[in-house]
A and B are shown apart, each in its own frame.
Chain A
Amino acid sequence: TQLLEQSPQFLSIQEGENLTVYCNSSSVFSSLQWYRQEPGEGPVLLVTVVTGGEVKKLKRLTFQFGDARKDSSLHITAAQPGDTGLYLCAGETGANNLFFGTGTRLTVIP
């Protein structure tokens, strides 16, 4: 069973601060995706990383896929209240299903 551990589990920061969320596994994934989920809604895809060592930037969000394709990180610069939500990483093995991480619940305080 592929297990994706995210840390921290909960994070509460002030607006304007920076933060990093980690997603770690002992399994190798062919791609890794990051989603954000808000209460009462389904997860929304933020990014997909495919190549080991790949770095993708999406405005204030920076995503990195580990060289060995077993881990990933999400860095948010100058967090805003609109960034509040549940952040989920998900690994894809090529078997047409995703293994989701344990989630990081982020609260950005104005």
Chain B
Amino acid sequence: KAGVTQTPRYLIKTRGQQVTLSCSPISGHRSVSWYQQTPGQGLQFLFEYFSETQRNKGNFPGRFSGRQFSNSRSEMNVSTLELGDSALYLCASSPGQGAPIYGYTFGSGTRLTVV
């Protein structure tokens, strides 16, 4: 079955702009989580969506937002980009029912560079 698809793979944006990243989870998976990965901070949780509802949110400013559609595809948006937002943004898919002891399936990520 198809894996988790993230688009685009690479993105270069200018400070102050906004950006939208997309994630298509594994078919049948209803939970999508977003993570930011940087060399200094490692992998940090942004938010998680299940059946179009945000169930959990990490400690990021309001410039970071997301949504999930009825087909479970998810988007995240970052407004007023800052240089520190340069990172690999990873999307993770899971069935979403109960505790995710099945593990997450990650996409290959979107590498965002803010200049």
Question: Which residues of A are interface residues toward B (Cβ below 8 A)?
Answer: 1, 30-31, 33, 35, 40-45, 48, 50, 88, 90, 92, 94-103
- Quick one: given A40-B108, A102-B42, are A45 and B103 in contact (CB under 8 Å)? yes
How big is chain B's contact interface, by range?
20 to 34
The answer to whether A97 and B56 touch across the interface, beta carbons within 8 angstroms, is: yes
CA of A30 to CA of B108, assembled, Å: 27
Between-chain CB contacts (< 8 Å), 9 pairs = A1-B59, A30-B101, A42-B90, A42-B92, A48-B101, A96-B31, A96-B99, A98-B45, A101-B42
Query: Across the interface, which residues of A come within 8 angstroms of B92, CB to CB?
Result: 42, 98
Min distance, Cβ B111 to any Cβ of chain A, angstroms:
8
CA of A33 to CA of B42, assembled, Å: 16
Query: Across the interface, which residues of A come within 8 angstroms of B55, CB to CB?
Result: 96
Query: Across the interface, which residues of A come within 8 angstroms of B112, CB to CB?
Result: none
- Quick one: given A42-B4, A88-B43, are A98 and B101 in contact (CB under 8 Å)? no
The answer to whether A41 and B31 touch across the interface, beta carbons within 8 angstroms, is: no
The answer to whether A48 and B99 touch across the interface, beta carbons within 8 angstroms, is: no
Closest to B49 in A: A96
What 1/0 flags go to B92-115 for Cβ under 8 Å of A?
A: 100010011111111111000000
- Quick one: given A50-B101, A92-B99, A92-B101, are A97 and B106 in contact (CB under 8 Å)? no
Query: Across the interface, which residues of B come within 8 angstroms of A1, CB to CB?
Result: 59
The answer to whether A96 and B105 touch across the interface, beta carbons within 8 angstroms, is: no
CA of A92 to CA of B108, assembled, Å: 22
Closest to B9 in A: A40
Min distance, Cβ A60 to any Cβ of chain B, angstroms:
20
Residue of A35, A50, A97, A102 with highest tally of chain B CB at under 10 A = A97
Closest to A6 in B: B42
CA of A65 to CA of B109, assembled, Å: 29
Query: Across the interface, which residues of A come within 8 angstroms of B4, CB to CB?
Result: 42
Q: Tell which of A92, A99, A100, A102 touches B100, judged by Cβ atoms closer than 8 Å.
A: A92
